[in-house]
Amino acid sequence: MTEHVPVLLEEATDLLTGGGGKVFLDCTLGGGGHAKRILEKVKDSYIIGIDWDEEAIEIAEKNLKDFEGRFSIYKANFVNLDLVLKEEGVDRVDGMLFDLGMSMYQLRSNRGFSFQRDAPLDMRMDREQKLTAYDVVNRYPERELERILREYGEERLSRRIARAIVKRREKKPIETTGELVEIIVSVYPERLRYGRIHPATRVFQAIRIEVNKELENLEVALKKTPELLNHGGRLVVISFHSLEDRIVKRFFKERQNLFRILTKKPITPSEDEIRMNLASRSAKLRAGERI
């Protein structure tokens, strides 16, 4: 299986651990790439890891097996990070990491995240959740679909694509990623079909954000962080979408009484990192230290 390459690995883990302290909360454990690096860097450190994807947790457990006894993992939505800490019996931690978006494991799975792989329209990171991409594509009103594609996907052809989806589903439900890709491509004028990014990129991103309520979850979770960080503790957030970054930026700006901002401008991957891991190209890291 293709490995997930952790993004901004040294930058994120240096910032996170730079305030001292030993107990860290990784809100997006994924394959455990960042978590492993923290455990390597800080002697006697301990990681509490959260992910809502069962498969991610299995992979993380394997990747962290050399650190047995120095981590605990919870299957949870990170909006419930306060409850996780309560269950763990920890009042406050020394650092919290959010590495948003999806992992390479998810993208390469058969769960409908990728437009390059024909699969049922699912896109749920948490498979216990009800809402799937199928529901969004087949049941959302046209105007709502159009809004999601425009806002979350910044898709210029949102109206046309939403129209085409609705027209198609009137005949028969749209079941697979392949069918959806075919509809999107058919709407794209020929001259735009072979641009820098595939015409389905933005639509898939938009539907994934909607299915997983990514922006809402981020807003709610961030608001809970100040009370759960020790003084000098660090909050590090890596985002991959301009709307996410806007939420993070605003969060820190409005709480300058609670956080000293450590990244005046967001940190972005070097050209070398982007060359080695294209998925890192849109990453932006912001960090603050709890006052």
Ligand X SMILES: C[S@@+](CC[C@H](N)C(=O)[O-])C[C@H]1O[C@@H](n2cnc3c(N)ncnc32)[C@H](O)[C@@H]1O
Q: Which chain residues interact with ligand X by CB under 6 A?
A: 4, 6, 28, 30-34, 50-53, 56, 77-78, 99, 101-103, 125, 217
CA neighbor of 136 nearest in space, from 214, 240, 209: 209
Find out whether 227 and 233 touch, Cβ atoms under 8 Å.
no
Q: Which is nearer to ligand X, 77 or 132 (CB)?
A: 77
Q: Which is nearer to ligand X, 4 or 290 (CB)?
A: 4
Residue with tokens 């097996």: 65
Tell me, what DSSP letter sits at residue 76?
S
Q: Which is nearer to ligand X, 32 or 112 (CB)?
A: 32
Tell me the closest approach of the beta carbon of residue 55 to ligand X, in angstroms. 8
CA distance 56 to 127: 12
Cα angle: 251, vertex 215, 229; to 5 degrees: 45
Tell me the closest approach of the beta carbon of residue 153 to ligand X, in angstroms. 18
Tell me the closest approach of the beta carbon of residue 99 to ligand X, in angstroms. 4
Q: Which residues contact 6 (CB under 8 A, 6 or more apart)?
A: 12, 31, 33, 34, 37, 99
**Burial grade of 276 (CB within 10 A; 0-12, 13-18, 19 or more):** exposed
Tell me the closest approach of the beta carbon of residue 126 to ligand X, in angstroms. 7
CA distance 255 to 225: 11
Dihedral over alpha carbons 65, 70, 238, 117 (to 10 degrees)? 20
Tell me the closest approach of the beta carbon of residue 222 to ligand X, in angstroms. 11
Tell me the closest approach of the beta carbon of residue 217 to ligand X, in angstroms. 4
Tell me the closest approach of the beta carbon of residue 103 to ligand X, in angstroms. 4
Find out whether 63 and 32 touch, Cβ atoms under 8 Å.
yes
Q: What are phi and psi of 289, to 5 degrees?
A: -115, 130
Q: What sign does the CA torsion over 253, 256, 257, 258 have?
A: positive
Structure tokens at 266: 């967001």
CA distance 60 to 73: 9
Tell me the closest approach of the beta carbon of residue 125 to ligand X, in angstroms. 4
Q: Which is nearer to ligand X, 98 or 179 (CB)?
A: 98
Residues in the chain: 291
Q: Which is nearer to ligand X, 28 or 205 (CB)?
A: 28
Q: Which residues contact 48 (CB under 8 A, 6 or more apart)?
A: 23, 24, 25, 26, 71, 72, 74, 84, 85, 88, 90, 93
